[in-house]
Amino acid sequence: MTNIYPPLEIPETLAAGPGPGNTDPRVLERFAKTGVADHMQADVLRGMKEAKFMLRDLWGTKNVYTYGVAGTGWTGLDCMQSLILPGDKVVCFVNGTFSSIDDLTIRMKASSLEDLAKDSLNPKPANVITVTVPHGESVSGEIVEKALAEHKPMWAFMAHWETGSGRINDIQGFSDACEKHDVMGLVDAVSSLGVADFSIDDYPGVAAWASCPQKGVLSLPLTYAPVSFTDKAIDVVKKRGCYTFVNHPILDARHWGIIDGKDVENPVYHQTHSCYAVAAFHEALRIILAYGKAAKAEAYAYHEKALREAVEAMGCKVTSNMTSLVVCNLPDSMQGKEKELVQGARADGFGIWPTLSEPVQIRIGILNQLSEEQITEIVSRFADRMLAMGADFDKAKVMAGLQSYYAKKAA
């Protein structure tokens, strides 16, 4: 007999972690109010055409091969990393959970059949050199320069912002070293696009970039992962090909009206795109560009500082330097209680996260939480959870300090 399960009743949660963030109600409205339409319907194609133009503005680029890959951030990263073929020499810089997973993906793509046969789930090809930077530290330009000078690879990989540890890595130093040593840089910009104010054309050493829809862009977890390829990267694919169809950097671009390096009026079918996803993605890009990249970056920095100071006032030690995420150690008396604290918070509809690799820390994010009222709620709820777990501080004093921070701005 078939079981008919009851419908899901998923409650509203304050998403105060590294991502996904709280989607703007206007994006949800576009998603919900979109009619059923063929993926080649005129307005759907208009949405894709305008989205690729808005993405170029958001990325700060003239790269024609700039578009969205249907799926999560990992889908966009897979598209970018498909540039790598077995035997390619690659240097990967790792300083947290997600750059570590990127490194694993690259090792899989660069492996020979013999490499995969030895350990298919964690291959270690000699042609991929992993440079590990300790958790809580950033990848510096000096580290990149030294590694590229020594190994002289074809490709180099780095995460711009590493969400696992909350660290910003030196994108200028990375680009400069790649350019100096004639290396093609690949960058994971999952956590920086839509949060930081940068233009990728300012970093000519980077050949390809990939981001995600659920963090700075804030277009639901499953719409489009932004990617951008330079002509140099596309030329490599033209000459060598790559081992994918759906996430092919050139073939996928055809559905966005990008053919032979030019924007065309009549796109070519590649895969079935969701009209709902197109509408949501289009609206999310409209919202962020209307806000302004510089203004959004300034707002994140301003509110992150407020959260950082409040968390430190509770006795925590902040080790991150991202502006959308605070990563901290609990007070000495609470060490070892990180996961218990996070589980208790989630049970109350307060979605914070632990780090996913050692050492275990607390991650509190502010994606799309850019007002005094929203930061105050995050601080208050974190303080309540800390106190319930046995922390020793005066919540009233913490909240007064937060109010004073915002009062200075108003004055």
φ, ψ of residue 235 to 5 degrees: the values are -60, -35
Q: Do you find a cis peptide bond into 359, omega within 30 degrees of 0?
A: yes
Please state, as a whole number, how many other Cβ atoms lie within 10 Å of the Cβ of residue 179.
15
Nearest to 280 by CA among 7, 83, 26, 14: 26
Written as one letter, the residue type at 148 is L
Q: CA–CA separation, 40 vs 327, rounded Å?
A: 44
Q: CA–CA separation, 196 vs 216, rounded Å?
A: 9
Residue for token digits 């912002």? 161
Q: Do you find a cis peptide bond into 331, omega within 30 degrees of 0?
A: no
Q: CA–CA separation, 237 vs 247, rounded Å?
A: 12
Q: Are 132 and 95 in contact (CB under 8 A)?
A: yes
3-state secondary structure of 234: helix
Q: Give the ranges where 87-170 is alpha helix by DSSP (H).
A: 97-110, 113-118, 141-151
Retrieve residue 330's tokens: 């609990």
Question: Which positions ≥6 away from 296 have C-beta within 8 Å?
Answer: 194, 195, 197, 216, 288, 370
Retrieve residue 17's tokens: 């972690």
Task: Kindly give the pairing relationship between strand 14-15 and strand 350-351.
Answer: parallel
CA angle 135, 136, 138 (to 5 degrees): 95
Q: CA–CA separation, 216 vs 317, rounded Å?
A: 25
Q: Is 56 annotated as a binding residue?
A: no
Q: CA–CA separation, 300 vs 138, rounded Å?
A: 20
Sequence ranges of the binding site for substrate: 363
Sequence ranges of the binding site: 363
